[in-house]
Amino acid sequence: MKGLINKGIGIYMAIGLFLTSCQTIPLFEQTTIFPEHNWSAKQVDTYQFNITDTSALYKVYFVIRHHNAYHYKNIWLKLSIQLPNDSATLQNLNLNMADEAKGWLGTGMDDIFDQRIPLINTPIHFKKGITTFTLQHTMREDPLQNILSTGIRVEKVKL
């Protein structure tokens, strides 16, 4: 009888662990797909997110899916962020995508890699309303080859 009770407790613990470990992270993600796997330097992509929870902290990521044949270890971007009722702020960013020791820093399967690269080092608060991000690459290669998709991910920080 004691063994049966222990098995029952173990099953309930396993179910409880499963249910609590499958919580979703509140996030927003928008991407642009490049069917020809080329990203033109003239193309400016705009992403808008409606922020409603101003008490939360958020992390912001650049998301990119690329082929293993991508020619560089980095990517140069022009990023603009416009908060509600503010003027846009413009940044030029050099984001690392690979290093000598590990190779590609993202996750991959076969010859396709996904990367989520932080755009802001520390979590931030957003104002309530529509926040607009624009992205444009500033690499010398134009169009930038072996790019399948790019975008922005805004993820609420779990406390």
Q: How far is CA 136 from CA 61, 78, 82, 125, 128, in A?
A: 15, 5, 15, 24, 25
| pLDDT one-digit tens code per residue, 30-56 | 999 999 999 999 999 999 999 999 999
What is the total residue count of the chain? 159
| pLDDT one-digit tens code per residue, 125-157 | 999 999 999 999 999 999 999 999 999 999 999
Q: What is the pLDDT of residue 4?
A: 45
pLDDT exceeds cutoff 60 at 121 = yes
The CATH class given to the 27-156 domain equals mainly beta
**What amino acid occupies position 97?**
M
Answer whether 134's CB lies under 8 Å from 84's CB: no
Answer whether 112's CB lies under 8 Å from 105's CB: no
Alpha carbons 124 and 58: distance in angstroms, whole number: 5
3-class DSSP assignment, residue 5 = helix
Span 121-126, average pLDDT: 91
pLDDT exceeds cutoff 50 at 17 = no
| pLDDT one-digit tens code per residue, 63-85 | 999 999 999 999 999 999 999 99
Check the CA dihedral 115-121-122-123 and report its sign.
Answer: negative
Q: What is the pLDDT of residue 18?
A: 47
